[in-house]
Copies of this chain bind each other. A is one copy, B any other.
Amino acid sequence: MKYAVIFGANSYEHEISIVSAVVLKKVFRADMSFVYCDSLKHFYLIPEDKMNAKTFSSKAYLKEKELFLKQGGFFEKGLFGEKKLECEIYINLVHGKDGEDGKFASLFEFFNLAYIGPRIEASVLSYNKELTKLYAQKVGVKVLPYKLLKSYDKTSLAQDFDFPCIIKPARLGSSIGISVVKDKSELEYAKDVGFEFDGELLIEPFIKDIKEYNLAGCMINDDFIFSMIEEPQKKELLDFEQKYLSFSGNNEVKEAKLDEALKAKFYEAFKKIYNPLFKGALIRCDFFVIDDEVYINEINPNPGSLANYLFDDFSVALERLAKNVKNEKKVKTDFAFLHSINASKGKL
């Protein structure tokens, strides 16, 4: 099967996405092309031997072939017309904005390209942390309580809450703009930081030494493929760099030692969240455990290098998923309604 990996785009996680693509090249045993979307949202075909950080940071990518998106694929212009990029399936490896907010899902659906990644609705519900909570509660998965601060609503800004708390922009991943606020003196600065990134901030209780676990997986027909359950090593809060270097294979990954009953709760919660909303994607769910109960913290619908480090055989899992993805059904248009208007209601 011939794959193309899309990465970059106009996102705070643009560089993370580049790292993610470089890592995927190393860990996924498959025939892959690499389509870079720069921050101005032009596409470039990057040769495999140039898939390294310098190609991008030095802007050498600008010398590579530019690609254009049209119905059915990416095309390059040549002397003898247009040539289509050979590819059976695209992998959405754009993290954060553009990649996980519904835009790339929309592009793939609109231009009719088969792809691995969250669909539009799944993107929107996982990208906005408040919607994630509403969705999780709807499907019967526990979430931490929260309050919402809105930059455009003074009443919301005057709400009371306890310290310590954690403040998160509603619509960003990757720990960007997130602060742990120990007491009131730190609050204003943390709000200012958060509002730099989003007009809405979630406030959650900060629970010191809370147990955190990650589980990745995907669904093939009616079966789930699960990764190991990891207890990520952490400081108070994983910072940007630390969180993302983790998927480059430099950190040691340890399977969490859990009893079977708790494990079953993780699988159960993952299934409720995944099916059917995330079909077509390989996602990573980040859970908390409090008093033996499982809470969803965050859904990563395009995890960094697709969480390869959590799987026994990542290549097999991704390949099985690739063979199983489906795009939306096409609607047939027969103009029956317009014909009937012309016939009976007078011409439009």
Q: How far is the CA of A78 from the CA of B338 in the complex (A)?
A: 32
In the assembled complex, A254 has its CB within 8 A of some CB on chain B: no
In the assembled complex, A179 has its CB within 8 A of some CB on chain B: no
Give the residue of B57, B107, B128 whose beta carbon is less than 8 angstroms from that of A121.
Answer: B128
- A3-20 contact mask (Cβ, 8 Å, vs B): 1 or 0: 000000011101110110
- A309-344 contact mask (Cβ, 8 Å, vs B): 1 or 0: 000000000000000000010111101111111100
Stretch at the interface among A94-102, A159-167, A207-215, A289-297: A94-102
CB distance from A218 to the nearest CB of B (A): 16
Q: How far is the CA of A42 from the CA of B112 in the complex (A)?
A: 12
* Chain B residues positioned under 8 Å from A135 (CB to CB): 134
Copy number in the complex reads 2
* A37-75 residues at the B interface, CB under 8 angstroms: 38-42, 52-54, 56-57, 68-71
When the two chains form their complex, are residues B333 and A41 in contact, meaning their CB atoms are under 8 A apart?
no
* Chain B residues positioned under 8 Å from A348 (CB to CB): 19, 22, 52-53, 248
Q: How far is the CA of A71 from the CA of B138 in the complex (A)?
A: 38
**Provided the pairs A107-B106, A124-B121, A248-B348 are in contact, do residues A333 and B152 lie with their beta carbons within 8 angstroms?**
no
- A100-140 contact mask (Cβ, 8 Å, vs B): 1 or 0: 01110111011110000000110011001011001100100
In the assembled complex, A145 has its CB within 8 A of some CB on chain B: no
Q: How far is the CA of A199 from the CA of B15 in the complex (A)?
A: 38
* A245-261 residues at the B interface, CB under 8 angstroms: 245, 248, 250
In the assembled complex, A345 has its CB within 8 A of some CB on chain B: yes
**Provided the pairs A53-B338, A338-B18, A338-B57 are in contact, do residues A333 and B106 lie with their beta carbons within 8 angstroms?**
no
When the two chains form their complex, are residues B335 and A15 in contact, meaning their CB atoms are under 8 A apart?
yes
* Chain B residues positioned under 8 Å from A19 (CB to CB): 338, 341, 348
CB distance from A107 to the nearest CB of B (A): 6
Q: How far is the CA of A322 from the CA of B12 in the complex (A)?
A: 29
Q: How far is the CA of A341 from the CA of B12 in the complex (A)?
A: 17
Q: How far is the CA of A101 from the CA of B109 in the complex (A)?
A: 11
**Provided the pairs A68-B70, A138-B134 are in contact, do residues A39 and B152 lie with their beta carbons within 8 angstroms?**
no
Q: How far is the CA of A98 from the CA of B106 in the complex (A)?
A: 9
When the two chains form their complex, are residues A10 and B121 in contact, meaning their CB atoms are under 8 A apart?
no
Residue of B nearest to A43 (CB): B71
In the assembled complex, A236 has its CB within 8 A of some CB on chain B: no
In the assembled complex, A235 has its CB within 8 A of some CB on chain B: no
* Chain B residues positioned under 8 Å from A152 (CB to CB): 275-276
Give the residue of B14, B42, B110 whose beta carbon is less than 8 angstroms from that of A98.
Answer: B110
In the assembled complex, A241 has its CB within 8 A of some CB on chain B: yes
* Chain B residues positioned under 8 Å from A102 (CB to CB): 102, 106, 120-121, 124
**Provided the pairs A41-B110, A347-B53 are in contact, do residues A331 and B120 lie with their beta carbons within 8 angstroms?**
no
CB distance from A159 to the nearest CB of B (A): 15
* Chain B residues positioned under 8 Å from A138 (CB to CB): 130, 134
- 8 extra interface residue pairs, beta carbon distance < 8 Å, beyond A42-B71, A102-B120, A134-B134: A10-B331, A15-B337, A16-B337, A18-B338, A41-B111, A102-B121, A241-B337, A248-B348
